[in-house]
């Protein structure tokens, strides 16, 4: 679908913004704000007059809410008075270990305002005046137009990227007349909802494909390849029956060592090459595949610990993460001596005559093993769960011969190959849809398209 442009434009005077409609204004955000306030620290809840305090972890990168387990804090009357959220307030993340999260902005809607909640000190609350509708501000702040400015203006201390109220004040925003802002909001709400629905369909497909892949792996690594093999009771609840000729062993007897690493305060960017020292981030094992790009550059003023460098075949397991990701495991694909183990990861080195690293990772990724790990995880919040070494070491696993393990791994890869191909296609489709969504928002909020006469097309029957 193509959209018309405005009849007349002017130079905005801002290189990255380019031309804007001649009757629009380009101005500092501060001239359209009624409030620009920091949040509260609060103290631990005691069950008496506790208050929900929203955190930046409950904001998604694309500016939506993800509230599973809102934090409770005990606040003074003054803190509550000044930090209670009202419908139409906007919350910006102002401090994070990832530049991707800096400036992510959520809008307080009816549900959030009904919670009578406050917000944490790592967030900044802004409240717009009547000349700048909160919803249009939300679209702008979550576009690359604002996020790029915040990335440039943010400063880096102790490994964190930071912004503050003064930086937010200085963001340049294009401002249309109020009636046109209403047109733009209606247009974007309708068009992005259609794109979001398509994204949701692809995400549903991805979930089904992953479930299918999980079922394939779980069956083969716990039951073997021969459907006619005689079976025996493993004596382990999560395993059930296994082939008669397989052994059962706690993981601790199948490995040479287990250790966790070190997490010094690092730079807020990854290494640029294999010759630089870096420290892994816990996300390097998400999804069951090792991702070496998930790292932070090692600070030059510290001395690295080469013993924490990675070797091909190392099994990495996250010991601290969300409930869904704690215990995620992956195999290091090649020697990476300058990428160091962080303290949120365990490193296991297996007895290679007893268990293949990739087979161990497949076992740890089964639905049944995951349930054991999740039940053993501890932590006050679902956003940060922990597992101790004993959870891994005492987990009993099936041990076919090495030759049979190799056959199982080969079979799993062969059966999952078409599923992986479909997953790649679905993920690529999501990437394209998100790019389309971002481009549409940017075009509308900067006046590159004229949506004043927009009328939603009726959905096909």
- CA–CA dist 224, 438 (Å, integer): 47
Residue with tokens 């804090």, as numbered in its chain: 73
- Comparing CA positions, the residue from 341, 334, 279 lying closest to residue 316 is 341
Residue 97's pLDDT band (cuts 50, 70, 90): low
Report pLDDT digits (tens) over 240-285.
999 999 999 999 999 999 999 999 988 878 998 889 999 999 999 9
Report pLDDT digits (tens) over 38-61.
999 888 888 888 899 998 888 988
Helix residue spans in 26-108 (DSSP H)? 77-83
Write out the two tokens for 375: 């039940």
Question: Which residues on neighbouring strands pair with residue 249, listed in sequence order?
Answer: 397
Going by their DSSP bridges, the two strands 231-233 and 155-157 should be labelled as unpaired
pLDDT at residue 459 tops 70: no
- CA–CA dist 168, 155 (Å, integer): 13
Q: Cβ(258)–Cβ(288) under 8 Å?
A: no
Residue 259, pLDDT score? 96
Q: Hey, which of 89-98, 293-302, 328-337, 367-376 has the most confident mean pLDDT?
A: 328-337
Q: Cβ(9)–Cβ(37) under 8 Å?
A: no
* Backbone CA torsion sign across 414, 218, 207, 356: negative
pLDDT at residue 156 tops 60: no
Strand order, beta sheet including 295-297: 295-297, 278-280, 336-340, 309-310
Mean pLDDT, the chain, as a whole number? 91
Residue 144, pLDDT score? 79
Write out the two tokens for 17: 């913004």
Write out the two tokens for 223: 């039951």
- CA–CA dist 42, 39 (Å, integer): 9
Report pLDDT digits (tens) over 189-246.
999 999 999 999 999 999 999 999 999 999 999 999 999 999 999 999 899 999 999 9
- Lowest model confidence (mean pLDDT) among 154-163, 364-373, 427-436: 154-163
Write out the two tokens for 269: 């960017």
Q: What is the mean pLDDT of residues 425-431?
A: 97
- Comparing CA positions, the residue from 160, 121, 161 lying closest to residue 265 is 160
Residue 45: C-alpha distances to residues 41, 76, 118 (Å): 12, 12, 14
Kindly provide the b/e burial profile for residues 170-191, where b requires at least 16 CB atoms within 10 angstroms of the residue's own CB.
Answer: ebbbbbbeeebbebbbebbeeb
Write out the two tokens for 179: 């009636």
Residue 444, pLDDT score? 96
pLDDT at residue 32 tops 70: yes
Beta-carbon count within 10 A of 252 CB:
14
Residue 441's pLDDT band (cuts 50, 70, 90): very high
Helix residue spans in 224-366 (DSSP H)? 357-364
Write out the two tokens for 323: 């409930």
Q: Cβ(118)–Cβ(54) under 8 Å?
A: yes
Residue 248: strand, helix, or coil: strand
Residue 154, pLDDT score? 65
pLDDT at residue 179 tops 90: yes
Residue 402, pLDDT score? 97
Residue 70's pLDDT band (cuts 50, 70, 90): confident
- CA–CA dist 450, 407 (Å, integer): 61
Q: Cβ(48)–Cβ(70) under 8 Å?
A: no
Residue 49: strand, helix, or coil: coil
Q: What is the mean pLDDT of residues 171-175?
A: 93
Q: Cβ(70)–Cβ(42) under 8 Å?
A: no
Q: Cβ(70)–Cβ(107) under 8 Å?
A: no
- Lowest model confidence (mean pLDDT) among 6-20, 26-40, 146-160: 146-160
Residue 149, pLDDT score? 76
pLDDT at residue 62 tops 90: no
pLDDT at residue 371 tops 60: yes
Residue 192: C-alpha distances to residues 407, 439, 459 (Å): 47, 11, 15
- CA–CA dist 240, 219 (Å, integer): 11
Within a 13 Å sphere around the CA of 401, how many CA atoms are in the beta-carbon half?
6
Residue 146's pLDDT band (cuts 50, 70, 90): confident
Residue 460's pLDDT band (cuts 50, 70, 90): low
Percent of the chain with pLDDT over 70: 95
pLDDT at residue 69 tops 80: no
pLDDT at residue 158 tops 50: no
Q: Quick one: which H or E segment has residue 338? A: strand 336-340
Report pLDDT digits (tens) over 379-420.
866 667 899 999 999 999 999 999 999 999 999 999 999 999
pLDDT at residue 157 tops 50: no
């Amino acid at each position: 679908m193509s959209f018309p442009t405005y009849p007349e434009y002017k130079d905005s005077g801002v290189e990255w913004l380019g031309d804007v409609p001649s009757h629009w204004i380009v101005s500092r955000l501060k001239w359209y704000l009624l409030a620009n306030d920091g949040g509260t620290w609060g103290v631990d809840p005691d069950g008496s007059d506790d208050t929900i305090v929203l955190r930046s972890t409950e904001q998604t990168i694309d500016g939506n809410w993800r509230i599973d387990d809102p934090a409770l804090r005990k606040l003074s009357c003054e803190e509550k008075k000044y930090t209670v959220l009202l419908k139409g307030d906007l919350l910006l993340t102002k401090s994070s270990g990832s530049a991707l999260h800096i400036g992510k902005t959520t809008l307080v809607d009816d549900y959030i305002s009904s919670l009578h909640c406050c917000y944490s000190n790592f967030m900044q609350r802004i409240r717009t005046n009547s000349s700048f509708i909160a919803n249009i501000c939300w679209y702008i702040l979550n576009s690359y137009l604002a996020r790029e400015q915040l990335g440039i203006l943010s400063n880096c201390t102790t490994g964190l990227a930071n912004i503050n109220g003064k930086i937010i004040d200085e963001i340049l925003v294009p401002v249309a007349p109020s009636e046109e802002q209403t047109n733009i909001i209606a247009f974007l709400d309708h068009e992005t909802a259609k794109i979001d629905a398509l994204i949701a369909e692809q995400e549903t497909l991805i979930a089904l494909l992953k479930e299918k892949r999980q079922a394939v792996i779980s069956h083969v690594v716990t039951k073997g390849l021969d459907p006619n093999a005689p079976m025996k009771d493993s004596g382990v609840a999560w395993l059930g029956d296994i082939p008669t000729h397989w052994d059962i062993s706690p993981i601790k007897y199948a490995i040479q060592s287990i250790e966790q690493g070190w997490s010094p305060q690092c730079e807020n960017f990854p290494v640029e090459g294999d010759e630089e020292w870096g420290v892994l981030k816990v996300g390097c094992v998400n999804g069951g595949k090792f991702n070496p790009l998930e790292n932070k550059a090692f600070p030059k003023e510290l001395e690295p610990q080469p013993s924490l460098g990675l070797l091909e075949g190392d099994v990495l397991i996250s010991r601290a993460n969300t409930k869904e990701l704690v215990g995620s495991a992956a195999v290091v694909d090649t020697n990476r001596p300058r990428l160091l183990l962080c303290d949120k990861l365990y490193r296991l080195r297996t007895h290679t005559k007893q268990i293949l690293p990739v087979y161990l990772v497949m076992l740890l990724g089964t639905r049944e093993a995951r349930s054991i790990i999740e039940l053993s995880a501890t932590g006050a919040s679902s956003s940060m769960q922990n597992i101790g070494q004993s959870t891994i070491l005492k987990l009993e696993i099936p041990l076919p011969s090495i030759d049979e393990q190799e056959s199982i791994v080969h079979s799993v890869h062969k059966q999952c190959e078409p599923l992986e191909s479909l997953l790649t296609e679905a993920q690529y489709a999501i990437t394209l849809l998100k790019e389309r969504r971002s481009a549409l928002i940017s075009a509308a909020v900067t006046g590159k398209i004229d949506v004043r006469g927009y009328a939603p097309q009726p959905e096909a029957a």
